Structure 1
């Protein structure tokens, strides 16, 4: 549950097809989409731009960190503030930290201050310097707000309250390094989302998230207004925008502590990028952050020896697509191999074979509606089998279906499902249409382009690459199929043209054929005289 809360939490809808077997585009909550099946190879809002300009005036301008050649645009603090936070942590019971904040180009990161043997903590954060749901629930001011709320919301409310206290907060050193917000679409204006996410399935999800958070804030604001004696002067700082900002920060920078079964805000974790390394990579170095009960602290351990000056990070179990990265962390990666397009397949109750098809799907672990993901380099085998089943109209053909192998039931059935997929891909691709001067590459090259615009451009480019590869794969499968489906079966798609040329070729021979037919009729060869 904790991992799902910190992942992309995608749940979106989209295009509805007019035929059974292909329905809207949707995604489940944060899951490892790569592992899904086998594959064949209300208050007036301050604008996001205005807030970012305000940050620059205050000297807190976001720094762009390079990752795979593309800026991540995460707003980082100064190097001095990071060092101050390290000193603050040491003062809370963990002296002698073996890490140093350091600049890697324009990136602020943590590096090992000395060689650290395998199995020893590279970073140790005392539990007294971390914030969990239990800590928030004990806060007398926040307990009225957090009752019945999820952990992410509770931690966001804690950030809002402590930030509002300013230097009076004992956590003020931490807030000098924790970003004010991320570039998740939930912090964008409605116009920014509509413009920069145009065509992407992320647009609907982002809008749904904002609507849900706004509805949540209405209830929270009512509690705040009804308890003036509790919140007092802080009321003016507790706004919808600050709530959205804090929520985005928790999504991006909180850490799942499996040993404590908690989601926590851990100081300095904001300087540890999340890195995914495929399992097939040999001798890979993995860093894991978790709670150590023997030390009563959160530690960062490495799978091998850490050399002095090595950059530290947190290893992830699986990679995230740009849609998940943008929604949960406000960043994207160029040429992200994890990018995908979600497709939902279904069967309809009006189908005369609905009952039999439902039983077959349940036997293979599928439902009446099932969501599949398509990557740029492979198609899910189960999607093809599911669609083949959805288009069958003959009971005998049900016995030919096999979900374990990529085998067509019939040429006509294969033609139908491939045309369905091709039509869906064309519809998705059409949603990205834009004037030439507003293309994604132009947006990235333009120095005046805003950060949300660049993030949206990279997101759309990745999705369009998946769609293009998907369409090519479908066309390749369609190429050997010569014909079109009719009531009589598959017929040559050029049959009408062939018949027309056959007619043209027969015209010069028509007089000769007529004379021969008359001669045959007149002579005894046809025995016409013997006929009644």
Structure 2
């Protein structure tokens, strides 16, 4: 799943129309797996004359419109019988094993177990047409090789490592339950419920499920809001598209309605939410080019490294943490975020003005010298981030020349993320360029090099 977006306006619309006219597509509707999928869904009450599976040169697999979709028109109405939920699992042959297990499974694990078992059953599975249409691999961090993790931005790298670790821990902690399912398996359980099989199922649920609230029950633990939606999950994301999506209690269907419409034979898109590219990569395994929601995060370690000469840095960090100003410090194409500049203004102040730190976090202005120091520090942070990004892109280029196809797909996604972030950082530096002192002018001093009693203005 991939996406793209363009800025609003007449010129942007012309560029988008030109781009869309150059995008090629090939229908996939005649392929056996999609013929089977349509037949499977038709038997459960779903038909669609508006959309067909197609392969697009810019996004890969998606859904193509066969007719012009008008604003507010219903794109898809998928009956409840077509949705794969925990209710499906509990009513299946796995239900008795889940209900009688000594510990309650999470809804996510229940769905993962069902997917693994159904894939193991092959064509004997009622859900085989859907299982067969799912990707065989993903470009989520859970799949990333160590070399791919190493070229991620620092914050993403930590969360990607956490994702890999979480899937491994889920596999390890669930082995006893997997063992209880031996009676329904035709092979030894350890050959069916491998780490790789659970990883595939975990990514399938996390990247392809739609949000649908379910009532709690006595057999599963935690919030249950997953629903796998065959055919509907072929829709790709684009940040500038608006749709209305929800389960309709009256029709008992999961419905998606277009807000602005789509021209005939173009790709139909949906919107997963106002997510930046780092989140899209972590949760869905793709990056949206030109994503208007994208930012570059300033890692706390980088901030400390740039400001390591400040003798009161530890105390300031503690104060920022206590006031929830350590995380979500970002820069965008328009410049540093308000949160980042506010944190830098606080960091610009000497320890002697401790009594005024809170006022700065609440938006009170600082003196011109300390504002200058804050802007200059923002420039330094952007330059350091840009250096890291360029170094990572060089490393990615080297890795692409000597990797296998699976790793190449992973590197392509990370390369897209890094390229988008390089553009953001370049534009941010341009935005800051007119607000910093010229090279021959004296730069503001380090906050605690001068213990005067400067007042905030």
Q: State the shift of 1:246 in Å.
A: 1.7
Instruction: Give deviations 1:3-56, integer Å, cap 9, x for gaps.
Output: xxxxxxxxxxxxxxxxxxxxxxxxxxxxxxxxxxxxxxxxxxxxxxxxxxxxxx
- 1:154 counterpart = 2:96: no
1:98-109 to structure 2, matched below 5 A, reads 98-103=49-54, 105-106=56-57, 107-109=60-62
- 1:82 counterpart = 2:34: yes
Give yes or no for contact 1:155–1:250 (8 Å, CA) kept in 2.
Answer: yes
Q: State the shift of 1:375 in Å.
A: 1.4
For the residues of structure 2 that align with 1:258 and 1:151, how far apart are their CA atoms?
Answer: 12
Decide whether aligned partners of structure 1 residues 471 and 293 sit closer, same or farther in structure 2, where only a CA change above 3 A counts: same
Moved more, 470-479 or 181-190: 470-479
Return 5+ residue gaps in structure 2 as ranges.
1-18, 216-223, 305-310
Decide whether aligned partners of structure 1 residues 220 and 145 sit closer, same or farther in structure 2, where only a CA change above 3 A counts: farther
For the residues of structure 2 that align with 1:114 and 1:315, how far apart are their CA atoms?
Answer: 20
- 1:272 counterpart = 2:235: yes
Instruction: Give deviations 1:438-484, integer Å, cap 9, x for gaps.
Output: 45567789998722222222222223333444455556443166345
For the residues of structure 2 that align with 1:87 and 1:352, how far apart are their CA atoms?
Answer: 64
For the residues of structure 1 that align with 2:100 and 2:383, how far apart are their CA atoms?
Answer: 51
- 1:246 counterpart = 2:246: no
Decide whether aligned partners of structure 1 residues 105 and 404 sit closer, same or farther in structure 2, where only a CA change above 3 A counts: same
Within the candidate set 342, 346, 358, 1:389 is matched to: 346
* Structure with the higher helix share, 1 or 2: 2
Aligned position for 1:126? 79
Q: Between Structure 1 and Structure 2, how many residues are aligned?
A: 400
For the residues of structure 2 that align with 1:147 and 1:92, how far apart are their CA atoms?
Answer: 33
Decide whether aligned partners of structure 1 residues 68 and 461 sit closer, same or farther in structure 2, where only a CA change above 3 A counts: farther
Instruction: Give deviations 1:108-153, integer Å, cap 9, x for gaps.
Output: 4334555677666432222112112333344334556795444333
Aligned position for 1:215? 169
Give yes or no for contact 2:346–2:357 (8 Å, CA) kept in 1.
Answer: no
Moved more, 135-144 or 458-467: 135-144
For the residues of structure 2 that align with 1:101 and 1:146, how far apart are their CA atoms?
Answer: 45
For the residues of structure 1 that align with 2:158 and 2:120, how far apart are their CA atoms?
Answer: 32
For the residues of structure 1 that align with 2:197 and 2:167, how far apart are their CA atoms?
Answer: 12
Decide whether aligned partners of structure 1 residues 382 and 246 sit closer, same or farther in structure 2, where only a CA change above 3 A counts: same
1:131-530 to structure 2, matched below 5 A, reads 131-138=84-91, 139-143=95-99, 148-194=104-150, 197-225=151-179, 228-229=182-183, 231=185, 233=187, 235=189, 236-257=191-212, 262-277=225-240, 286-303=242-259, 309=265, 311-318=267-274, 320-343=275-298, 366-367=323-324, 369-390=326-347, 391-395=349-353, 398=356, 402=360, 407-411=365-369, 413-418=370-375, 420-432=377-389, 434=391, 438=394, 450-471=408-429, 476-479=434-437, 482-485=442-445, 487=450
TM-score when normalising by structure 2: 0.71
For the residues of structure 1 that align with 2:20 and 2:97, how far apart are their CA atoms?
Answer: 43
Aligned position for 1:509? none
Moved more, 333-342 or 291-300: 333-342
TM-score when normalising by structure 1: 0.62
Moved more, 286-295 or 106-115: 106-115
Q: Secondary structure at the match of 1:93?
A: coil
For the residues of structure 1 that align with 2:116 and 2:437, how far apart are their CA atoms?
Answer: 58
Q: State the shift of 1:294 in Å.
A: 2.0
Q: Secondary structure at the match of 2:45?
A: coil
Q: State the shift of 1:214 in Å.
A: 0.7
For the residues of structure 2 that align with 1:335 and 1:116, how far apart are their CA atoms?
Answer: 24
Decide whether aligned partners of structure 1 residues 184 and 489 sit closer, same or farther in structure 2, where only a CA change above 3 A counts: same
Decide whether aligned partners of structure 1 residues 292 and 425 sit closer, same or farther in structure 2, where only a CA change above 3 A counts: same
Instruction: Give deviations 1:180-204, integer Å, cap 9, x for gaps.
Output: 222112112334433xx25553222
For the residues of structure 1 that align with 2:279 and 2:243, how far apart are their CA atoms?
Answer: 22
Give yes or no for contact 1:287–1:314 (8 Å, CA) kept in 2.
Answer: yes
Q: Secondary structure at the match of 2:96?
A: coil
Q: State the shift of 1:238 in Å.
A: 1.3
For the residues of structure 2 that align with 1:482 and 1:208, how far apart are their CA atoms?
Answer: 44
Give yes or no for contact 1:385–1:403 (8 Å, CA) kept in 2.
Answer: yes
Q: Secondary structure at the match of 1:158?
A: helix
Structure of greater Rg: 1
Give yes or no for contact 1:156–1:247 (8 Å, CA) kept in 2.
Answer: yes
Moved more, 201-210 or 252-261: 252-261
For the residues of structure 2 that align with 1:468 and 1:117, how far apart are their CA atoms?
Answer: 39
Q: State the shift of 1:321 in Å.
A: 2.6
Instruction: Give deviations 1:346-375, integer Å, cap 9, x for gaps.
Output: 99xx969979x95x998xxx4364432221
Q: Secondary structure at the match of 1:385?
A: helix
For the residues of structure 2 that align with 1:305 and 1:338, how far apart are their CA atoms?
Answer: 22
